[in-house]
Amino acid sequence: MPESDQPSTVVLAIDHDVAELVLNRPDKMNAMNDAMVRDIKDSLDHVESRGARAFLIRGEGRAFCSGRDLADADPLHEDGEAILRDALNPLIERMAGLNVPTIAAVHGACLGTGLGLALACDLVYAADDARIGSPFARIGAVLDSGAHAAFVARLGPHRALELIYTGRLLSGREAAEWGLVNRSVAGADLIRRTRELASTIARGPTAAFLESKRIVRRIMDAAPSFTELLAAEAAAQGRASRTHDYQDGIAAFQEKRKPAFTGS
């Protein structure tokens, strides 16, 4: 995306097959308004069309994303269901289904819809001192943006309900210990570590990675039977075996050299 075309609420850069999207409302702790929702969606479309092989999302300033921007919210008149149905849920689904391996680098506040956006990524790394959760108990709201499913799947029902009932926020270190995120790292190392991870993934057999991503999503979404899962894995392996990466990977193993993966 040319610099002149960059939307103001996000900054997207693509370099060496790695796309990095920065949420860019630091004065608002990257709270999500309508413009940011549109800009993120447009950026995700651009990431796919450019053929990026790994994607990293992070926040500028003191936070990853503090959730929906409530500064102009009108709780007496706005239709909360419509806001989710027409704007926020499609964004979360778009992130979860992005045809690229995705990583969220979380620091500072990661709350509400911001947490949903992060948990929709394939991998989540958090700064040790990040503040992570959906404190909707404080405003009488119900978790949204996929947080119920993520909490139950990653934490179990009892811990999920504890966080829902109390509105408690987890540190990045606690979130990693509980299994809500992949791991926590020192805040000063977060960007470097996640960029290194994105580069490593981009050099890998990303066509095969995406086959596995689709199967993992299918397990999460539909809970297929083991027989269906085995069939899906077999079909995916068949598709992967016809790619350049698979063929070069096998040849490299046989020839005792490093493969040259291309993502095709």
pLDDT in tens, 21-62: 999 999 999 999 999 999 999 999 999 999 999 999 999 999
Domains and CATH numbers, the chain: 3-202 (3.90.226.10), 206-255 (1.10.12)
pLDDT digits (tens, 9 = 90+) for 128-140: 999 999 988 877 7
pLDDT of amino acid 3 = 43
Distance CA 225, CA 196 (A): 36
Tell me which residue of 130, 3, 5, 6 sits closest to 58, measured CA to CA: 130
Report pLDDT for 9.
97
At 206, the amino acid letter reads T
Q: Is the pTM of this model over 0.75?
A: yes
**Pairing mode, strands 18-23 and 10-15:** antiparallel
- Give the residue carrying structure tokens 């405003």: 139
With bands split at pLDDT 50, 70 and 90, how would you rate the model's confidence at 2? very low
Distance, in Å, from the CA atom of 130 to the CA atom of 107, rounded to the nearest integer, reads 5
Q: Which residues contact 250 (CB under 8 A, 6 or more apart)?
A: none
Alpha-carbon distances of 126 from 14, 39, 118, 190, rounded to whole Å: 22, 24, 10, 7
Closest of 65, 62, 105, 109 to residue 193, by C-alpha: 105
